[in-house]
Amino acid sequence: MKHNSKSNESIWFLEVDTQFVRDQKKKLEKEVVCWSKGVIGNADRPLVISGPSGVGKGTLINMLMKEFPSMFGFSVSHTTRAPREKEQNGVHYHFSERNVMEEDIRSGKFLEYAAVHGNLYGTSIEAVDVVADAGKRCILDIDVQGARSVRASSLEATFIFVCPPSFEELEKRLRARGTETEEQIQKRLRNAKAELEQGSSPGLFDHILVNNDLEACYEQLKNILGISKSMNTVPITPNKVFDLPVDFSLSKINEKILINHGVAEQKVLDLSSMKGGAPGRTRGLDMYVL
Ligand SMILES: Nc1nc2c(ncn2[C@@H]2O[C@H](COP(=O)(O)OP(=O)(O)O)[C@@H](O)[C@H]2O)c(=O)[nH]1
Ligand SMILES: Nc1ncnc2c1ncn2[C@@H]1O[C@H](COP(=O)(O)OP(=O)(O)O)[C@@H](O)[C@H]1O
């Protein structure tokens, strides 16, 4: 079901029988209805970019965001690692204390998290939310473990793995970047071997890019995403809405949606205090039986 709100041009979808709804029903052992903000269709899927440290993920992402500022937004992760010289809190990462981040993980604020190179990294639901609320396509720069978690989650994304042309070139780039100590470089290189192996695991990544020549790799990335310069000014329009199962029907009165299931049951979904949620997640809904 689709509801078009004129005030902020946002489109809301009612999830009735999606994987997320089924998972939550099982977990909570009660009826669950989810209200998702966003546009459905491949063009708007979040983009998960993984690859070993120093391969050029950040460089490619920056190029994309610079050329298409209104189309893409970066998911700002949380990490317990120390900031690098030019990194800004809230822009490159949310730099966090380990105990605070662990508590936030326990309380369910993260879509995924992983221990990488001895530190914790994670994507908060809020980080994806902020980008989706701005009407942009979200880019996640996360490691292979994180990509696996997102694959298993309700977030439908496009997964891209970036490889170096050779291990020697990867080492050269890491050293030339000059942001890590020798010990940290060694740790990243050790982990790169495992990541390169996992990157080729069947079914995890949709596309593999070799970042040899930067410009050529960037062109390939844009080809995968099906974008060209002129597209930045063209808003993406939704082309598909959910079909309701046959035994459900809906009607709407002001901020309340009436859900009829079968003959006997009628529920009210109260949207008056609803706030935007990450795809597959909703805040501020109230539901009761009429
Ligand atoms: N799982 C997960 N991995 C992340 C997240 N943010 C960053 N990473 C990954 O953590 C690794 C280390 O990132 P960083 O410390 O910025 O170093 P760099 O890869 O050398 O630039 C990279 O593989 C990132 O993709 C996150 O939110 N979740
Ligand atoms: N195709 C490329 N050829 C040469 N150097 C590159 C290329 N792509 C990126 N670099 C450089 O390699 C270093 C690591 O890139 P970066 O984007 O920080 O990697 P990542 O985000 O994957 O850790 C940077 O100094 C960057 O300028």
- The answer to whether residue 125 is domain-embedded is yes
- The answer to whether residue 10 is domain-embedded is yes
Question: Has 84 been annotated as catalytic?
Answer: yes
Q: Are 185 and 233 in contact (CB under 8 A)?
A: no
The predicted pLDDT at position 28 comes to 79
Largest pairwise CA distance in the chain: 69
Give the number of other Cβ atoms within 10 Å of residue 17's Cβ.
Answer: 12
Letter for the amino acid at 262?
G
Tokens of 95: 């730099």
- The answer to whether residue 120 is domain-embedded is yes
176-197 confidence digits (pLDDT tens): 999 999 999 999 999 999 999 9
In this structure, the strands spanning 34-37 and 11-15 are antiparallel
Report which of 118, 124, 113, 102 is spatially closest to residue 146, judged by C-alpha positions: 113
**Rounded to the nearest 5°, which phi and psi values hold at 106?**
-60, -35
The predicted pLDDT at position 12 comes to 61
Residues 149 and 78 occupy one common structural domain: yes
| pLDDT at 249 > cutoff 80 | no
Note down the domain range covering 114.
42-233
Residues 61 and 156 occupy one common structural domain: yes
CATH number at residue 179: 3.40.50.300
| pLDDT at 203 > cutoff 80 | yes
Ligand 1 within 6 A of CB of 145: yes
For residue 280, the 8-state DSSP code is T
Residues 122 and 19 occupy one common structural domain: no
Give the mutation target among 62, 142, 189 for probing the ligand 1 site: most ligand atoms within 8 A of CB: 142
**Rounded to the nearest 5°, which phi and psi values hold at 177?**
-65, -35
CA of 3 to the centre of ligand 1 (A): 37
- The answer to whether residue 58 is domain-embedded is yes
CA of 241 to the centre of ligand 1 (A): 34
Measure the CA–CA gap between 109 and 128, rounded to whole angstroms.
Answer: 11
Residues 197 and 259 occupy one common structural domain: no
Residue 233's pLDDT band, with cuts at 50, 70 and 90, is very low
Arithmetic mean of pLDDT, 255-273: 72
CA of 103 to the centre of ligand 2 (A): 33
Residues 263 and 282 occupy one common structural domain: yes
The angle subtended at Cα 22 by Cα 50 and Cα 140, nearest 5°, is 15
Pocket of ligand 2 (CB under 6 A): 51, 53-59, 173, 176-177, 211, 214, 217
Residue 24's pLDDT band, with cuts at 50, 70 and 90, is confident
Residues 169 and 76 occupy one common structural domain: yes
Question: Has 151 been annotated as catalytic?
Answer: no
Q: Which of 152-161, 181-190, 234-243 has the highest mean pLDDT?
A: 181-190
Residues 170 and 91 occupy one common structural domain: yes
Residue 57's pLDDT band, with cuts at 50, 70 and 90, is very high
Catalytically annotated residue among 84, 98, 175, 283: 84
In the three-class reduction of DSSP (H, G, I as helix; E, B as strand; rest coil), residue 257 is classed as: strand
Report which of 255, 210, 237, 231 is spatially closest to residue 135, judged by C-alpha positions: 237
Residues 128 and 141 occupy one common structural domain: yes
Nearest CA to ligand 2 atom 5: 173
The predicted pLDDT at position 1 comes to 40
Give the mutation target among 53, 104, 150, 180 for probing the ligand 1 site: most ligand atoms within 8 A of CB: 53
CA of 134 to the centre of ligand 2 (A): 28
Residues 50 and 176 occupy one common structural domain: yes
For residue 71, the 8-state DSSP code is T
Residues 128 and 265 occupy one common structural domain: no
**pTM of the predicted model over 0.80:** no
Arithmetic mean of pLDDT, 132-154: 92
Q: Which of 210, 233, 256 is the last residue of a domain?
A: 233
The predicted pLDDT at position 22 comes to 80
Residues in the chain: 290
Nearest CA to ligand 1 atom 22: 143
Residue with the bigger pLDDT between 14 and 118: it is 118
In the three-class reduction of DSSP (H, G, I as helix; E, B as strand; rest coil), residue 205 is classed as: coil
- The answer to whether residue 155 is domain-embedded is yes
- The answer to whether residue 238 is domain-embedded is no
Residues 258 and 213 occupy one common structural domain: no
Question: Has 177 been annotated as catalytic?
Answer: yes
- The answer to whether residue 12 is domain-embedded is yes
275-289 confidence digits (pLDDT tens): 544 545 555 566 777
CA of 276 to the centre of ligand 1 (A): 26
Q: Are 264 and 37 in contact (CB under 8 A)?
A: no
Q: Which residues lie closer than 8 Å to 235 by C-beta, 6 or more apart?
A: none
- The answer to whether residue 239 is domain-embedded is no
For residue 239, the 8-state DSSP code is -
Report which of 48, 59, 52 is spatially closest to residue 166, judged by C-alpha positions: 52
For the chain, the domain total comes to 2
Write out the E strands in the chain: 2-4, 11-15, 34-37, 47-50, 72-74, 78-79, 94-95, 110-116, 119-124, 137-141, 158-163, 207-210, 248-253, 256-261, 265-270, 286-289
Q: Which of 212, 233, 254 is the last residue of a domain?
A: 233
Residues 183 and 212 occupy one common structural domain: yes
Question: Hey, which residues does 121 pair with through a beta bridge?
Answer: 79, 114
Measure the CA–CA gap between 61 and 73, rounded to whole angstroms.
Answer: 10
The interface predicted TM-score of the complex, written ipTM, equals: 0.98
Residue 7's pLDDT band, with cuts at 50, 70 and 90, is very low
